[in-house]
Structure formats: structure tokens, C-alpha cells
Structure 1
Amino acid sequence: MTTIQKFAAIAATSAALALAFSSSAQAEGKIRIAEQFGIVYLLLNVAQDQKLIEKHGKQQGVDIDVDWVKLSGGAVINDALLSGSIDIAGAGVGPLMTIWDRTRGRQNVRGVASLGSFPYYLVSTNPAVKTIADFGPKDRIALPAVTVSVQARILQMAAAKQWGVAQFKKLDPITQAVPHPDAAAALIAGKTELNAHFGGPPFQEQELGGNPNAHVVLDSYQVLGGPASATVLYATEKYVKENPKTYRAFLDALTEAAQIIATNPEAATDSYLRVNKANTDRALVLKIIKDPKVQFRVAPQNTLGLAQFLHQVGAIRNKPASWKDYFFVHPAIASGS
């Protein structure tokens, strides 16, 4: 079995596990949250480590049972949400736009909150690749989900700027769905056909420090025109309406988690390491959290441009006029964009 086939088998297994969770209706006081890999999920890590959802639930008069699920890839996350296996999905703006578009008038999935704004780097170990125009048919770019992940969508946006809108899928054939930890390990080792990875922190920093040939080919902020919320949380309208106290406790917990990260990044670093059982260098995690380019905030930032691009190229049928079209209204995210 080739490395690519192994990664495909892992993805298929993840999808099967996602659909295997109980799909029974949940009553107020229960929340099942799916996250993926990386520091971009730090708000959730802090909330889990310090039991902030349970804390704010008690303030609402509800004892909340929280289930945490780790999955990889927006497609798997979306399948789990629509199957009723999870209540809160954590993935990129790309998967959010896909599921928002497909469920309008039915499950009415919308965004709940942002997890912050982070620069995502497309890292290559091929010395000949300086820009995306240098990628050839033998290169392989790892990302969490082909086509639908936010990395895949940003890459398409970059391709449209490079070669024209009609060529926005030009690089899709050389992309491969691989979980971030596996992609980072492959790039650092340099022993597989994967020679590029469009990931996120801390994996991109580990690659840049772990392989002398690793270098940044593309920065998501350059494509999106500045800091932007690439990773978000979303849910069905049914869950939000039927669980108002749990939903409020969840958003209050995220807001407190953001405050903790801002005022005590050292404690947030320890939360990340404990929750993820990671052997990542603590100094590296702390450095990323303190990076001025990184912003942990619940209000979405600069998401409309990517959303409208997806409509322009036909990836979604419905054109959003505002970020409020695909996010639920709540005071915690009132300053979004």
C-alpha cells in the first residue's frame, strides 16, 4: 500500500467513525463538539481544560455534559454534523460555506463563532517552487480535505488570481487529503511523495524548523487581503433554537477562553499541551500564541471575500451579501465581518 493509499484509508476510517456516533436527538444540557488539529483550536482547548462550558452552564442553571470529538477534514466534519453525530462543528470557512449553501431552507446550518485569525502557510520542500506558479504535476500538496477545506479554497482563490478565474481549479489535481500531524511528519522526514503542505500552526512552524528545504510559498493573509478568520464553529438551526441555555453557555465559555489567552498566554499554552497530549515544544507554542499576526477572537473577521469568491466560481449557489447571512446573530460576535 502506498503512502497516499494509507492516508486515504485513514480518511475513510475517520468518516466511518464520524457517522458511527449516536445520532439520537439531544436535550438541553448536552453538547458534542468536533474539533480538528492545531493551535487554531486553542479556544476550545482552553474551554475543555478549564471546564468553562460546564461553569457557564451552571450559571444558566443547566448541568452540561460535554463530549469532545477529534476528526480531520471539513468533509468528515460536515457529514458528522448532518448525520446528527455532533452538535458543534469546527472547521474552515470553506466547509462552512459549503454546508450553509447546501442546507438553506432545511437544516439551515450557520456559523456560531470564529476561533480567531491565523496566517496559514503553504510550505514546500521543493527548492524549485518559489510561488504557486512553479508547482508541477509531480508535486503533491497535503491539506485537510480536497476542494472543501479552507486551505483548498484559499489555494483556489490564489490560483484564480494567478491564472484567471476560469483556472481556479488548476492546482486541485495535485492536492491530497492528509491530517495535519501526518502531513507535517511526512514533510519533515522528506521520505514520501508529499513535498508541500497547506496547514496551520504549529505544524507549519514545525516544518519550517524541521526540514532545511522547507520554505513558505504562500501566506493566506496575502490571498485574503489581511487577517481573516479561516477556522470557525457552526451548528444547525435546530440545535441552536432547542438548546438556548447550552448555546449561550458555550459562547460565554469561548469568550472567557479568549480573555484567558489574551491575559495569560502561558496558562493557555499549558492547556493546549494537556488537552492535545502533545510533545510540541512549549516555547514554540507560546511563541505562536504571542505572535501579533495571531488573534484569538470569537467574532469572525474578513470572511465575506472568500464566501463571495466561492459563489463567483460556482462552488456555492447562494451569494451572501453579508457575513450575517451565514452566521447566527448573537451579541458575542456582533462586531464580525
Structure 2
Amino acid sequence: MFTRQPHKLASLTLSAALTLSVLTAGLVTAAPAHAEGQLRIAEQFGIVYLLLNVVRDQQLIEKHGKEDGVTIKVDWTQLSGGSAVNDALLAGAVDIAGAGIGPLLTVWDRTHGKQNVKAVASLGNFPYYLVSNNPQVKTIADFTEKDRIAVPAVSVSIQSRYLQIASAKLWGDQDYARLDKYTVNLPHPDATSAIISGGTELTGHFSNPPFQEQELQNPNVHVVLNSYDLLGPNSPTVLFATEKFRNDNPKTYRAFVEALADAADYIAKDKPGAADTYIRVTKAKIDRDALIKIISDPLFEFTITPKSTYPVADFMFRVGAIKNKPASWQDYFFEEPKLLQGS
């Protein structure tokens, strides 16, 4: 479990906002896109970024770069929320961005015919849980104005999109944003602490592994919504880049994709080793055996091939969240032989 001290929600939100603004401000003033041989990656929180943890720990990008005759310097940045990640990418502060399929589609639509941001690869298939510590909340219909639901980025994050899809199924497309007014921006670690400790207006958290599993260790916390119940197994989180970076840095880009594929193979073969990597890279205060159990969950699949992302794109176009309708998942993913079986 995390050892953070409990805080009031207002303090958490303010602290998170200040931290994020400082990080983003620093990124936005960064230099423009690097030349071949340099790579800046923005990631977020959770086991869904395990592929990147392995890539970083084993220096797989550097390894594949050397095999292709280029020395690659890799810089890593951690942000919270798809909005901050998208802003950093469009500001030229990072080259590869990690965020939900929702933020990807938002920036793909925004840059369509311009910077042409597209996905590079998936980070795997994982169920995301909306949990609550309010015993009165059994379904999303039970949330009231007294409740607040933490998400990484209000209205933009994949967690927000899942909540909107669930709302549309329950109340119709015209009411897809019915619960948006109850959502607040908060990084997963801080929201987890608040849900576990209780005592704040934050009663819900749409999270990801391992935070949702840590929250559920508290008997007062229960699952309200499972993303797999909405769309079946799907890829909630992806990596994306601009068309210019891909075209201008073919060797660096290729080394990155090869590194991701190697990391996926490693995790499939060595779950304990992957758990050790996560703890070593993230410094997370989590029990090793519990982490191995989470990573070994048969519902988890660490793969670079995207799965069932198009239903999210179709929904976002249907409700007007994006203006451009993709014909298929391949419209918002770069062409890559390793991803031919995606969806």
C-alpha cells in the first residue's frame, strides 16, 4: 500500500494542480523536437506503463539504436492526465506521449491534416475499475451532487470516456456527459490515498492497476463499474507521436518499437522479474507478491497490438467529441507491420 498521509480533497487537488502546472510549464519551455538519436518520453502512473518500465530498466531503446548504428539518448518525464501529455507533445516538449485512447483521439482529431498525431503502439489490455467508498453507490446512477469521482483528466481521459460511454448506455447519447460535473482531476496515487482513508467528498475513483487493486483491499471500497463490461477486453492506454517525429527520426522510432516488442516478450516470460522492474523503476511501495499476482491476472495482456479501440472512436464521433470520423483503427495508428492484427 502507499504510505502517503491522508489529506483533505481540496489540498490534494491544489497540490496536484500546482505540481502539474510546474511540470507542464517546464516542458512547454523545452527545446523543439530533437534530431535523430534523441528521444523524450512522457509516461503516467500505473502498471499499464510496465512496458515502458522494462524498456527503461533494460535500456532496450539504446540497445536497438546501437544495432542500427545510432546512439540514442533517452529522457523520461512523468505527468498526470491526458491533457497535460497532449499539451507537452504539441509544444514539442516530448516526442513520445503515453496516455489513454481518449486523449489520443482528441489530439488525433485536433491535429488531423496538420501535425498528424497518431498512435505508435498499445501498452496492453487491462480492465479499469470505477470504485467507491460510498456504500450507497452501487451503480453509476447512484452518484449524486454530494459525490466526487477522481479521474486523471476530466472529460478527456479514457476513464472519463468510459464513464461517458456507460452514461450513454444508461441514459442515452444526449446525456453522455451527465456525470462529468461530478468528476475532478487528481493523479492516481493521491486519489488512491483519499479513497482508502475516506473522510473527503471524494467517494469515487476511476483508476487503473495497481491503484484499483490497492483500494479494493479496503473492505469499505467496492467496484461500481468495470471497463471490460462496457467494451470487453480492450487497450485503454497507448503511445503516440507526431508524423514529423516519425519521418525525421526513422532509426530512433524503429528502435523504440523494437524495444517495446522486446519488453512485451520479457513480461510474458518473467512475471516476477517484471514485478521487480516495476518496483525498481517507479519506487512504488507495494508488496512484491501482491504485484506479481496483479501482473499475472489472466485478464491482463501486455502487448503492443491494440484491441477494441475503435468503439471508443466511434462513440466520441457520435457524441461530437471529435469532428473527424476514422474509418478504422488504422486511421489513428501509424502503419506498423507488428500491429497488423489490431482493432
User: Are 2:37 and 1:17 aligned?
Assistant: no
**Secondary structure of 1:54's aligned partner:** helix
Q: Provide the C-alpha distance between the structure 2 equivalents of 1:4 and 1:10, rounded to a whole number of angstroms.
A: 10
1:302 Cα shift? 0.4
| Matched residue, 1:229 | 235
Q: Could you tell me whether the CA contact under 8 Å between 2:33 and 2:94 is conserved in 1?
A: no
- What are the Cα deviations for residues 59-79 of structure 1, in whole angstroms up to 9, with x where unaligned? 111111000101000000000
| Matched residue, 2:160 | 152
For the aligned residue pairs, the C-alpha RMSD in angstroms reads 1.2
Q: Provide the C-alpha distance between the structure 2 equivalents of 1:85 and 1:16, rounded to a whole number of angstroms.
A: 14
1:235 Cα shift? 0.3
Runs (5+) with no aligned partner, structure 1: none
User: Are 2:214 and 1:214 aligned?
Assistant: no
Q: Provide the C-alpha distance between the structure 1 equivalents of 2:315 and 2:18, rounded to a whole number of angstroms.
A: 29
Q: Could you tell me whether the CA contact under 8 Å between 1:46 and 1:271 is conserved in 2?
A: yes
| Matched residue, 2:273 | 267
| Matched residue, 2:309 | 303
- What are the Cα deviations for residues 84-118 of structure 1, in whole angstroms up to 9, with x where unaligned? 11000000000000000000111100000000000
User: Are 2:64 and 1:52 aligned?
Assistant: no
**Secondary structure of 1:195's aligned partner:** strand
Runs (5+) with no aligned partner, structure 2: 1-6
| Matched residue, 2:207 | 199
- Higher mean C-alpha displacement, 199-208 vs 279-288: 279-288
- What are the Cα deviations for residues 207-231 of structure 1, in whole angstroms up to 9, with x where unaligned? 000x22100000001111x100000
Q: Could you tell me whether the CA contact under 8 Å between 2:122 and 2:303 is conserved in 1?
A: yes
- What are the Cα deviations for residues 268-310 of structure 1, in whole angstroms up to 9, with x where unaligned? 1111000001111111211111101000000110000011100
Q: Provide the C-alpha distance between the structure 2 equivalents of 1:215 and 1:272, rounded to a whole number of angstroms.
A: 26
1:18 Cα shift? 2.2
Q: Provide the C-alpha distance between the structure 2 equivalents of 1:93 and 1:206, rounded to a whole number of angstroms.
A: 24
> TM (normalized to structure 2)?
0.96
Q: Provide the C-alpha distance between the structure 2 equivalents of 1:3 and 1:134, rounded to a whole number of angstroms.
A: 21
1:60-139 alignment to 2 at 5 Å?
60-139=68-147
| Matched residue, 2:3 | none
1:331 Cα shift? 1.2
Q: Could you tell me whether the CA contact under 8 Å between 1:81 and 1:87 is conserved in 2?
A: yes
1:6 Cα shift? 4.2
1:8 Cα shift? 4.0
**Secondary structure of 1:216's aligned partner:** strand
% identical equivalent positions: 59
Q: Provide the C-alpha distance between the structure 2 equivalents of 1:106 and 1:16, rounded to a whole number of angstroms.
A: 28
| Matched residue, 1:27 | 35
| Matched residue, 1:189 | 197
For 1:41, which of 42, 49, 56 is the aligned residue?
A: 49
> TM (normalized to structure 1)?
0.97
- Higher mean C-alpha displacement, 14-23 vs 113-122: 14-23
| Matched residue, 2:285 | 279
Q: Could you tell me whether the CA contact under 8 Å between 1:8 and 1:177 is conserved in 2?
A: no
**Secondary structure of 2:202's aligned partner:** coil
1:335 Cα shift? 1.4
Q: Could you tell me whether the CA contact under 8 Å between 1:42 and 1:272 is conserved in 2?
A: yes
Q: Provide the C-alpha distance between the structure 2 equivalents of 1:147 and 1:300, rounded to a whole number of angstroms.
A: 22
Q: Provide the C-alpha distance between the structure 2 equivalents of 1:274 and 1:212, rounded to a whole number of angstroms.
A: 29
Q: Provide the C-alpha distance between the structure 1 equivalents of 2:296 and 2:287, rounded to a whole number of angstroms.
A: 15
1:13 Cα shift? 3.5
Q: Provide the C-alpha distance between the structure 1 equivalents of 2:263 and 2:115, rounded to a whole number of angstroms.
A: 29
Q: Could you tell me whether the CA contact under 8 Å between 2:12 and 2:190 is conserved in 1?
A: no
Q: Could you tell me whether the CA contact under 8 Å between 1:19 and 1:79 is conserved in 2?
A: no
Q: Could you tell me whether the CA contact under 8 Å between 2:12 and 2:186 is conserved in 1?
A: no
Q: Are the structure 2 counterparts of residues 2 and 212 from structure 1 closer, same or farther at C-alpha, using a change threshold of 3 Å? A: closer
Q: Are the structure 2 counterparts of residues 12 and 327 from structure 1 closer, same or farther at C-alpha, using a change threshold of 3 Å? A: farther
| Matched residue, 1:323 | 329
